[in-house]
Chain A
């Protein structure tokens, strides 16, 4: 579940940054169209791909349930962190992405 969590959280952060309002709050600039597109694609991709580690770890039904739980709670974590500790929120996403290959390796 850990890898799925890291990927979901990073994915949601990317999607969040792709919006004008939150990009402005967090990075103090407006996202350029190519950047916005990249962030959107990366975000959705991370969310979709995060299903794989969830399902691979246990059987199909259990995996989907775990993925949904991780999806919901990573979004909730991000949204609750953003107004209080925006930099921490971003750092967690970064660290999560860096740690993902390690977690993936542990799964294989």
Chain B
């Protein structure tokens, strides 16, 4: 390659961006939705009632339930309700197979009755959150793939910066209605103007899984005893082992209060009880992540579960731990209030748009070269199909997920699994549709379907529940109303996109029919 540095970086940017672009689009879109996962869960489980927050009552309710249902579990997790998530979430890890990673069972409780909420089973917003880093693949393969994608994203961002010659001159430049030029201007705009966010979100995602993907330093420094490393970094996980003798767990309320005292009024995020049925039970009271920007993994107060003795208060974070915690905290955005959360969401959409416009440009540039030939080469046709399915198809799948939530019977036992399956079935069908239809037509049809599905969601909500917009706006249930309104806005955006696509397609359709686009291998 005798080209210059910039050209080489442009080549790398183009190919890395294409190969991983489809996956990265999905990760970014579902990740962006995750910033409102609690609100999405609220819409998808409208039966979960929000009560005024009363931590003492919630904690007592959780303890009562867990004592009945899982007295001999390996661990209990109690996540207290907060302003965004009204659910009192309990989870336990069963102890059936010693030495094996026990199964996790989760329930959402009503803090007043201490019984499981009679709400439709659904993953809610958690589905998007888990998908964006696990990709519906078995542990740990999804995480590996998403982290590899993150590294490629990092390379694409930096090579993009290097390639963009006029990054300062063209800082404010956006020229619409000029075809490929506009797409590139748009790609540059959402890329450069929101660059701090893109760099932060990408690098932080690498840091989040760094112990998994870059374990060499741990092994070099700790040898066989990597457990010691994790105990130092996550002191919560360093708990006394079970002694095998039964013990009685004290009420958790006083421990909660003592922990809050240690934090001068800071909030409790969750409690982890290890070996609750054992005499050596330990309770970790973990601070709420929303308390500060820099996430402190160690911020917890530990007690002996049967004597109530204060075992350990986590100390100040070291600088490297604080830097790592900053990456984690910034990525998660737990600390963000409503306005900042919307800003996070918009930045995430900008990142998604950056990837999407890149994919469109990649194809558009090469399609121009082949505009006069009889047929599109196989490679370009493949890119066209994947572009359509990964972008318009994904949006249809998301809408289908919400439709399934409202249409599947509430009492249907496997409805949670079927909601997820509907998502993937819809996505798969959109891929099939993309294969069968020609480029522009396919886009118009998929965008239109997506538009229809999203616009109709508030109506669907009104027809299937009593929480429609009239009710939610009147009662100040902003999460419910916000969801309906955002779906409506998304639907309107997709309508506009479909209309634009249709307008541009119309004069070309006749000529295309005459030539007859077909799938064809590029002749050598």
Contacts and interface: CB of A to CB of B under 8 A. Distances in A.
Direct contact of A and B (CB under 8 A): yes
Interface of A: 1, 12, 15-16, 19, 21-22, 59, 61-62, 65-66, 68-73, 75-76, 78-80, 82-84
A84 B175 CA distance: 9
Contacts of A19: 169, 172
Given A1-B339, A69-B344, A76-B189, A16 B172 contact: yes
A75 B335 CA distance: 24
12 contacts: A1-B339, A15-B172, A62-B293, A66-B340, A69-B344, A72-B193, A76-B189, A76-B190, A76-B350, A79-B172, A82-B174, A83-B176
B174 A72 contact: no
Contacts of A79: 172-174, 189, 193
Contact of A65 (B173, B194, B293, B346): B293
Interface string B164-180: 00000100111110000
A75 B292 contact: no
A63 to B, nearest CB: 9
Nearest to B170: A21
A56 B413 CA distance: 51
Contacts, number: 63
B336 to A, nearest CB: 8
A20 B367 CA distance: 35
A61 B293 contact: yes
B292 A61 contact: yes
Contacts of A16: 172
Interface string B332-355: 000110011001101100100000
A1 B172 CA distance: 23
Contact of B346 (A12, A22, A71, A73): A73
Nearest to B190: A76
A93 to B, nearest CB: 13
Interface string B314-348: 00000000000000001000011001100110110
B189, B292, B294, B343: residue with the most chain A Cβ atoms closer than 10 Å: B343
B340 A72 contact: no
Given A65-B340, A83-B174, A72 B194 contact: yes
A69 B347 contact: yes
> Which of A21, A59, A73 has most B Cβ within 10 Å?
A73
A87 to B, nearest CB: 16
A69 B343 CA distance: 6
A79 B172 CA distance: 5
Nearest to B194: A72
B493 interface: no
A76 B194 CA distance: 8
A56 B194 CA distance: 24
A16 B173 CA distance: 9
B196 interface: yes
Contacts of A61: 292-294
B106 to A, nearest CB: 31
